[in-house]
Structures are given as C-alpha cells and as structure tokens.
Amino acid sequence: MQFLDDSLLPENQQPLVIQVAPYGPEFLPSDSGDIPVTMAEQVQKAVDCWNAGATVLHVHVREADGKGSKRLSMFNELLARLRVAVPDMILQVGGSISFAPENEGAAAKWLSDDTRHMLAELEPTPDQVTV
C-alpha cells in the first residue's frame, strides 16, 4: 500500500486519544512489579503514561498496603497532585466507587445513586466520570 498524498504525516491524521488505567484496584502489587502504590509512584506512572502519548487517565487510588482505596480524601489528594504533574491530561474517575467512612462511627456508603453523587465532592474535580 502506498500513500502518496502525505496522509501519514501526523499533521494530516485524525487526533488519537489513548486512555490508560494503570491504577486498577483488581490487581495487587504482588501480581506485578509495575503497580504503583505510593502517591509519588502513582503520579510518576501518570507522567510516564503522558510521556508515552496517553491523553486520558482513569484514576484509582491505593492504600499503603497496595489495596484499592475507597477514601474520598485520598482521591482528592491524588487528583490535586496529578493536576500539577500532568496539567493537560484528562482525568477520569469511575462512577462505581464505593466510599468508605473516614470518621469513627460513620456509615459506609455503598454503590447507590447517593454514593455516585459523592463524586461531585471531589476537589479538584475530574474531567470525566464513568457511570
């Protein structure tokens, strides 16, 4: 196949969107040596993905033990760090998150419409939310 009209030049191609999800909580650090756990590692992974050409980052957060976090405050912290490290990256948060209580005696908020509305409390706000 020959392209004689310069159609393969980047400036003549349609924009490409690459979405990555390097923080998926279904895998634990023991499953792979490439799973970021600390906030610094998660931010560095986002920078690496951006530098590799990704434009959308699906965000999950991990606790110190490597398991997925359900704490709204940790999502807020990671989103704030990502806004600084990769300011042009589109940040996406999943709408199927169940948030755990952070205060003693608070009730857990499991998957429901009320829980999904808690995504509006994220600060800074994500660019996208999957539902």
Q: What is the pLDDT of residues 83-96, one digit of tens each?
A: 999 999 999 997 66
Is 20 in a helix, a strand, or coil?
strand
Cα gap 127→131, rounded to integer Å = 13
Of the pLDDT bands very low, low, confident and very high (cuts 50, 70, 90), residue 100 is low
Write out pLDDT tens, residues 42-81: 999 999 999 999 999 999 888 898 888 888 889 999 999 9
The pLDDT assigned to 104 comes to 64
Contact at 8 Å (CB) between 62 and 28? no
User: pTM to 2 decimals?
Assistant: 0.79
The pLDDT assigned to 112 comes to 56
Strand order across the 128-130 sheet: 19-20, 56-59, 90-94, 128-130
Q: Which two tokens stand for residue 85?
A: 């490290």
The pLDDT assigned to 84 comes to 98
The pLDDT assigned to 40 comes to 96
- CB atoms closer than 10 angstroms to residue 50: 19
Report how far Cα 20 is from the mean position of its chain's Cα atoms.
8
The pLDDT assigned to 103 comes to 67
Write out pLDDT tens, residues 11-21: 877 888 999 98
Contact at 8 Å (CB) between 121 and 72? yes
- CB atoms closer than 10 angstroms to residue 129: 16
Report how far Cα 103 is from the mean position of its chain's Cα atoms.
25
Share of the chain above pLDDT 90, in %: 33
